[in-house]
Structure 1
Amino acid sequence: MVATTDKPVRKKTSAVATTKRKSDRWQSPLTLVALRIVVIAVVLALWQLLSGPVLPEYAVSKPTDVAQALVKLLGSESGWIDVRATLIEVVAGFSMGVTLGTVVGLVLGSFSLAGRVLEPLVAAFNGIPKIALAPLFLLFFGIGPWSKITIAMIGPAFVTFYNIYLGLRLRERELMEIVQVMGGRRHHLLTYVTIPTLAAPFFAALKTGGPLAILGVIGAEFIASTEGIGHGLFTSAMNLDAAATFAGLIVLIVMTLTLNGLLTWLDKLALKRLGLIARRRPAEQHA
C-alpha cells in the first residue's frame, strides 16, 4: 500500500522539477536578452510596414529614416554640442541635487525638532510642479546652463531627502540601544546601524532621481535654450521633422539607460562592501 502511494508522489515531484527547470531556462539572462531583441525587431518591422499605408509618415516617420537622422545627428559637430551640453547639465544637476538632499535629510532626520518644524515646509515646496519653476530660474540665472542645472537639481534633491529622512526615522531603536549598551559610540552607531539602514534607500533615491534630472533638463531646454538635446527636439518638432525627433529621443533613451546601469553597478558594489547583498538576494528571488 505504501509503495502504491509513493509512485504518484514521485511522479508529481518529478513533474514539478521538470517544470521548474523549464521555467529557469526561460528566465536565463541570454534567453531574456534574445526575447527583448525579438520584441524590438518585431516592433521595428511593424513600424516600417505600417508607416505610410496605416500611420501618417509625417508624424511617425520610418525606422530607416530615423536611423539616417541619428547618423546625421551624431556625425555633426552641432549634434555633439547638444549632447555634451545636456550631459553636463544632467550630471551637474543630479550631483548637486543628491548632495543637497542628503545633507538636508541627515540634518532634519538627526534633529527631531528641526524635522517636525521644517518637514511640512519641504513637503509644501515639493508640491509645486518642478517645470513651473523654470521661468523663475530663467529670470535668476538667464538662458545659460545654470537655469537647467538648478531645475535638474530639484527632483533628485527631494527624492534623496525623503529617503534619507525616513530612513533615519525608521532605524531600529532596539539595535541602537544594544550597540550603546555594549559600549558603542557614535561612530559605531554610524557604522553598524545608520549606514546599513540608509544604503538601500539612498541608492533607490539615486535610481529614481536620475530620470528626474534628465526630465528637468529637457523640460527647461524646451522652454528656453540655445543648445542641448531638448532644444534640438523642440526645433525638430516645430519643423515637423519626425525622424530627427525620434533620433533625439533615442539619444535620451541611451543616456537614461547608461545612467541607470552606472547607478545599478554602484548600488551592487556598495551593498557588497557593506555586506548587505546577501540580504537583497533572497528578497529578489522571492519576488
Structure 2
Amino acid sequence: MVTATRSAERTTEAAAEPRRQGERWRGTATVVLLRVAVIVLAGVLWQVLSGPVLPEYAVSKPTDVVDALWTYLQSAQGWTDIKTTSIEILAGFGIGVALGTAAGLLLGSFRLAGQVLEPLIAAINGIPKIALAPLFLLFFGIGIWSKIAIAVTGVAFVVFYNIYLGLRLRQRELVEIVQVMGGRRHHVLGYVTVPTLAAPFFAALKTGGPLAILGVIGAEFIASAEGVGHELFVAASNLDAPNEFAGLIVLVVMTLILNGILTRLDAYALKKLGLAGRRRARKG
C-alpha cells in the first residue's frame, strides 16, 4: 500500500513538472516582453519630445543615434575602440580579482596582519580611483596599462573586503567541529571556507565588473588615443549628441554581456558547490 502511494506521488510530480516548466517559461517571456515594451515606449517618447520639448542638440533623436551607431560599428576605428576597451576591462578585472582574493585570504587568515594592514588599506581605498589616473599615466604612459591599473584598483578593493570580511565572519564552531572530527586544513577549506566565501566572492565579482568599466572609461577620458571612452570624449568635445549616445549604447551592451557572464558563472559555481538550493530558499 505504501509503495503504491509513493509510486502515485512520483507519477503526480512527474506530470506536474512540465506544467511548472511551462509556467516558468511564460513568466520569463512576460518579463522580457515588458522590458522590450518599456524600451520601445521610451524610444517613442524620446523621438516625439526631441525638438518640441527637449533641445535636439543636447539629446538628439533615436533615429539619429541609430544611424550614428550603425556608422560607428561599420568603421574599422569603431571596432578597434571596442577591442581596446574590452581588453582593458577584462585585464583590469582579472588582475583585480586575483590581487583582491590573495590579499583577502592572506589578511583574513592571519589575524595580526589584518589588524595591522586593514586600516591602511581602508585609507588607500578612500582615495577616489580616478584621482590616481594622472599618477598611473606617469608610471605606465598613455597606453592600455594605465587604464588597466585604474580598473585593478577599483576591483581589487571590492573583492578584498568581501573575502576578508567573509573569513572574519566564518563560523568558528563549524571549523572546530571539522577539526575535532579529524579534519585537516584542506577539509576546513572544502567544507567550511569555500562555501562561506562563495556568495560574497561572486557578489564582489558582480560589483567589480561595472567598477572596472567605470575606471577604464574614466581613464580613457583623461588621456587616450583609442577606446570607447576616447570616442565619448571626442563626441562630447564636438557637441556631437548622436555619437555620444551611440558610445553609451556600446557601453551598456558591454556591461550587460559582462554581467550575464558573471551571473551564469555564479549560478554554475553555486550549483557545483551545492549552494543553489540554499539561495532559492532564502529568496522564497
Alignment TM-score, normalising by the size of structure 2:
0.91
Matches within 5 A, 1:201-240: 201-240=200-239
What SS does the corresponding residue of 2:51 show, helix, strand or coil? coil
For the residues of structure 2 that align with 1:279 and 1:264, how far apart are their CA atoms?
A: 17
Paired residue for 2:48?
A: 49
TM superposition shift of 1:228 = 0.3
Deviations 1:70-96 (A, max 9, x none): 000100000000000000000000000
Paired residue for 2:241?
A: 242
- Number of residue pairs aligned between Structure 1 and Structure 2: 263
Is the aligned partner of 1:94 residue 2:67?
A: no
Paired residue for 2:141?
A: 142
Amino acid of the structure 1 residue aligned with 2:132: L
TM superposition shift of 1:50 = 0.5
Paired residue for 1:14?
A: none
Matches within 5 A, 1:77-116: 77-116=76-115
Amino acid of the structure 2 residue aligned with 1:214: I
TM superposition shift of 1:209 = 0.2
Matches within 5 A, 1:148-227: 148-227=147-226
Amino acid of the structure 2 residue aligned with 1:185: R
What SS does the corresponding residue of 2:232 show, helix, strand or coil? helix
For the residues of structure 1 that align with 2:281 and 2:188, how far apart are their CA atoms?
A: 26
What SS does the corresponding residue of 1:183 show, helix, strand or coil? coil
Paired residue for 2:38?
A: 39
For the residues of structure 1 that align with 2:92 and 2:174, how far apart are their CA atoms?
A: 36
Paired residue for 2:13?
A: none
Amino acid of the structure 2 residue aligned with 1:84: K
Paired residue for 2:274?
A: 275
For the residues of structure 2 that align with 1:284 and 1:236, how far apart are their CA atoms?
A: 44
What SS does the corresponding residue of 1:194 show, helix, strand or coil? helix
Deviations 1:228-258 (A, max 9, x none): 0000000001111100000000000000000
Unpaired runs of 5+ in structure 2?
1-22
TM superposition shift of 1:210 = 0.3
Paired residue for 1:66?
A: 65
For the residues of structure 2 that align with 1:284 and 1:222, how far apart are their CA atoms?
A: 40
Paired residue for 1:75?
A: 74
What SS does the corresponding residue of 1:216 show, helix, strand or coil? helix
TM superposition shift of 1:152 = 0.6
What SS does the corresponding residue of 1:28 show, helix, strand or coil? helix
Amino acid of the structure 1 residue aligned with 2:224: S
Which runs of at least 4 in structure 1 moved beyond 4 Å after TM superposition? none
Amino acid of the structure 1 residue aligned with 2:262: L
Amino acid of the structure 1 residue aligned with 2:172: R
For the residues of structure 2 that align with 1:276 and 1:36, how far apart are their CA atoms?
A: 30
For the residues of structure 1 that align with 2:37 and 2:78, how far apart are their CA atoms?
A: 30
CA-atom RMSD in angstroms: 1.4
For the residues of structure 1 that align with 2:279 and 2:183, how far apart are their CA atoms?
A: 27
For the residues of structure 2 that align with 1:161 and 1:232, how far apart are their CA atoms?
A: 32
Amino acid of the structure 2 residue aligned with 1:222: F
What SS does the corresponding residue of 2:154 show, helix, strand or coil? helix
Paired residue for 2:258?
A: 259
TM superposition shift of 1:30 = 1.1
Paired residue for 1:20?
A: none
Deviations 1:167-203 (A, max 9, x none): 0011111111111111100010000000000000000
Unpaired runs of 5+ in structure 1?
1-23
Q: Relative to structure 2, which stretch is displaced further, 32-41 or 156-165?
A: 32-41
For the residues of structure 2 that align with 1:66 and 1:283, how far apart are their CA atoms?
A: 43
Paired residue for 2:6?
A: none
Amino acid of the structure 2 residue aligned with 1:60: V
TM superposition shift of 1:45 = 0.2
For the residues of structure 1 that align with 2:137 and 2:197, how far apart are their CA atoms?
A: 35
What SS does the corresponding residue of 1:202 show, helix, strand or coil? helix
Paired residue for 2:18?
A: none
For the residues of structure 2 that align with 1:35 and 1:78, how far apart are their CA atoms?
A: 35
Amino acid of the structure 1 residue aligned with 2:116: V
TM superposition shift of 1:282 = 1.3
TM superposition shift of 1:60 = 0.3
Paired residue for 1:12?
A: none
TM superposition shift of 1:29 = 1.2
